[in-house]
């Protein structure tokens, strides 16, 4: 099988490519250049797009003895991932750019180009498993599952890829017992990235200052910080810089009568207001979402099913009853955020969660299996679990 191995310049992608070579695939390595300006990349491997990463990827390809190319995907990255990041914050939502990068770049732009060039699949260094399950008709159903190493599991950010792309994906590290084992394997293979630090933060925010990045791109938009009753408690320079659950940096000029801390409860972009209140108002047990990507064709729409949901990349799953249907944002009553393009989904939680913001990715699991992904539109309190 002809396999395109995405080489980020880190240890995970290098070992994944090596394992693809080991099983006999015809492997070609490619590094994705995501910025036209090298100055926008950060140093020290704090993100996945640092200046030295392309060189590290090339050295890994040399050790593995595979061809190596750099593909310029900067235009696609700016037009999809960065543009989505800015528009979501401007609309009062909290996006996850890694989810969008996996959707639009790693498993869309990269895979589409690879298929056009005759490749059969894309291999990446993500920690997740693909399981082929007999479907009872002589065929097999391909499922996305959590990685063997639950600490490093990345199925949350991969759930958005969709069934068609899942068919052409390879995750060679899915059964790796730990990151330490992967590093040891890299060292044994003579890969110089074996001790390279993990990447983190947002790769296109060069200095790690997300609020500063938003201010530079979106400009100053002064408005009021209010309580749940509409009383003005302070001012802000841009509602986009706040997210639900935030406690610090609220700029309040009037302390709470009871002296308790206050948190961001809601961001209202149309009114240009940030609403704050006590911590107990952050707890929610009913999540409404749309733009659903469903991977489990054997789980029907319109019915409540027992599942677990995860709302943060490194969060704990929570038991819930979940139902998906054909509703979009307009019918979900989202306060005018605009109609969505995918089916709706509702999750009623057995245990309330705190600080859930519109725009977050909600991933539905059944044990280790990923059933689907949806984007949260609204979170509310007081819903009873359906029978």
**CA atoms of 208 and 48, how far apart (whole Å):** 13
The C-alpha angle 48, 53, 54, rounded to 5 degrees, equals 125
Convert 199-233 to b/e letters by CB count within 10 Å (16 or more is b).
beebbbbbeeebeebbbeebeeeebbbbbeeeeeb
Taking the C-alpha atoms of residue 1 and residue 17, their distance in angstroms, rounded to an integer, is: 13
CA distance 255 to 257: 6
Q: What are phi and psi of 223, to 5 degrees?
A: -165, -170
User: Of the residues 48, 49, 98, 101, which is catalytic?
Assistant: 101
Do 330 and 339 meet the contact criterion of CB atoms below 8 Å apart?
A: yes
The tally of CA atoms less than 13 A away on the side-chain side of residue 174 is 19
User: Of 48, 49, 98, 203, which one is the catalytic site residue?
Assistant: 203
Helical spans, DSSP H, in 118-250: 155-158, 163-166, 179-188, 210-218
Adjacent-strand bridge partners of 325:
344
* Parallel, antiparallel or unpaired: strands 140-146 and 263-268: unpaired
49 included as an active-site residue: no
Active site residue 98: no
Ramachandran assignment for 152, one of left (phi > 0), alpha (psi -120 to 50 degrees), beta (any other): alpha
Active site residues: 101, 203
């Amino acid at each position: 099988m002809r396999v395109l191995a995405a080489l980020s310049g880190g240890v995970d992608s290098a070992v994944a490519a090596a394992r693809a070579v080991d099983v006999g695939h015809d492997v070609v390595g490619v590094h994705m250049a995501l910025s036209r300006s090298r100055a926008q990349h950060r140093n020290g491997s704090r993100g996945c797009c640092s200046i030295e990463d392309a060189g590290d990827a090339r050295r890994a390809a040399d050790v593995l003895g595979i061809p190596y190319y750099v593909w310029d995907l900067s235009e696609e990255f700016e037009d999809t991932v960065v543009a989505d990041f800015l528009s979501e914050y401007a609309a009062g939502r909290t996006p996850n750019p890694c989810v969008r990068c996996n959707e639009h770049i790693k498993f869309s732009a990269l895979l589409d180009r690879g298929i056009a060039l005759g490749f059969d699949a894309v291999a990446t260094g993500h920690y997740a498993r693909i399981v082929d399950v007999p479907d009872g008709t002589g065929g097999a159903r391909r499922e996305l599952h959590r990685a063997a190493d639950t600490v490093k599991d990345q199925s949350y950010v991969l759930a958005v890829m969709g069934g068609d792309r899942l068919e052409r994906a390879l995750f060679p590290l899915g059964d790796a017992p730990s990151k330490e084992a992967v590093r040891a394997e890299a060292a044994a293979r003579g890969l110089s990235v074996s001790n390279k630090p993990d990447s983190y933060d947002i790769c296109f925010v060069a200095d790690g200052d997300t609020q500063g990045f938003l201010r530079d791109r979106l400009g100053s938009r002064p408005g009021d910080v209010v309580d749940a009753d509409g009383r003005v408690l302070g001012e802000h320079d841009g509602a986009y810089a706040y997210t639900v659950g935030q406690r610090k940096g609220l700029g309040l000029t009037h302390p709470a009568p009871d002296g308790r801390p206050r948190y961001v409860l809601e961001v209202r972009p149309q009114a240009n207001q940030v609403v704050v209140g006590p911590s107990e108002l952050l707890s929610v047990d009913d999540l409404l979402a749309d733009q659903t990507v469903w991977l489990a064709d054997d789980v029907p729409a319109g019915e409540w099913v027992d599942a677990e949901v995860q709302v943060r990349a490194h969060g704990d799953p929570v038991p819930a009853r979940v139902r998906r249907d054909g509703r979009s944002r307009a019918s979900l009553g989202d306060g005018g955020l605009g109609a969505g393009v995918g089916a709706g989904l509702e999750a009623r939680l057995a245990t309330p969660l705190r600080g859930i913001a519109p725009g977050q990715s909600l991933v539905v699991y059944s044990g280790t299996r990923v059933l689907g992904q949806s984007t949260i539109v609204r979170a509310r309190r007081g819903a009873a679990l359906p029978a």
